[in-house]
Amino acid sequence: MSGRRNAVTVRPVIGITGRRYRLQLLKGADERYGDRCTDSYMSDFASRIAEAGGLPVHLSYDTDATEICSWLSGVVISGGQDVHPACWGGDTAVVRDVDPRTDPLVHDAARDAYEIALVRAALERGIPVLGVCRGLQVLNVALGGTLIAHLPPGSVSHLSTEAAPTDGTADHLVTFEKGSLAAGLFGEHTMTNSWHHQAVDRCGTGLVVTGRTSDGVVESVELPGAPVLGVQWHPEWMKSADPTMTWIVQAAAELLAAHRGEQTHRSSR
């Protein structure tokens, strides 16, 4: 025996956000508990992150955004309802006076506040961030950007009628900027699925647009020099493997390895 210990591979913990609503919305739920809430998460994120070698964990709104970032090596801001226009200077007249716990499609100020705080805390600590659909828009808003409230009909179908999972349709071809993170993952362009009616208007501080469809709609953003990527499509619902899911795990693993290396160096001094 060489006497050398086998290296232990530590998998990066990656937090995934979700939404909250009342149990009464679930078919077959016991009426006695109908007024209580449940936290809901798209399990396809967790499945694909686990397949890529990460340890997925689901984050409730009650998890302190700053404190949880001491435990995480990566963050995924998932899709969902529109970001409240008050967060980015939009027209608040579109907001309906409906409890988001009884309708998961209406604006949810509590979710907005939590995810914006989580993005800012992750960026401050250098934690890799992947924003998906709404998550891209949250990333942009967290950095002071604005949104297009509603995309007009055009040559590209952004609010698809296709069911998930799907690789999208030929009109939804995203072209990437040379030298960008996205281009490194996908090449010059890729076809994706699409289920959104809002999009990035003005980029937040530091963010740059790295991917668009032929009609000019923003489909990917990045923060140069940082492990940050926002995509307007749903990689967790692509029928084919999507490299963004592998990217977030690899980026988180690199951060974890760097931190463990620093700890080992300090303990050996």
Q: Distance between CA 132 and CA 102 in Å, rounded?
A: 24
> Known catalytic residue: 133?
yes
> What's CA 230's distance to the chain center, in Å?
7
Q: Name the E strands within the chain.
A: 13-17, 19-22, 37-40, 55-59, 74-77, 129-132, 147-148, 173-176, 189-191, 199-200, 208-212, 218-222, 228-231
Kindly name the residue from 115, 219, 222, 236 that is annotated as catalytic: 236
Contact between 97 and 107 under an 8 Å Cβ cutoff? The reply is no
Sign of CA dihedral 17, 22, 25, 31: positive
> Known catalytic residue: 150?
no
Kindly name the residue from 133, 172, 219, 222 that is annotated as catalytic: 133
> Known catalytic residue: 234?
yes
Q: Distance between CA 258 and CA 197 in Å, rounded?
A: 39
* Type of residue found at 239: K
Q: Distance between CA 231 and CA 145 in Å, rounded?
A: 15
Contacts of 190 (CB under 8 A, 6+ apart): 173, 174, 176
Place of tokens 């699925």: 193
Kindly name the residue from 107, 158, 196, 234 that is annotated as catalytic: 234
Contacts of 200 (CB under 8 A, 6+ apart): 136, 137, 140, 145, 147, 148, 209, 218, 221, 232
Query: Which residue numbers are catalytic?
Result: 133, 234, 236
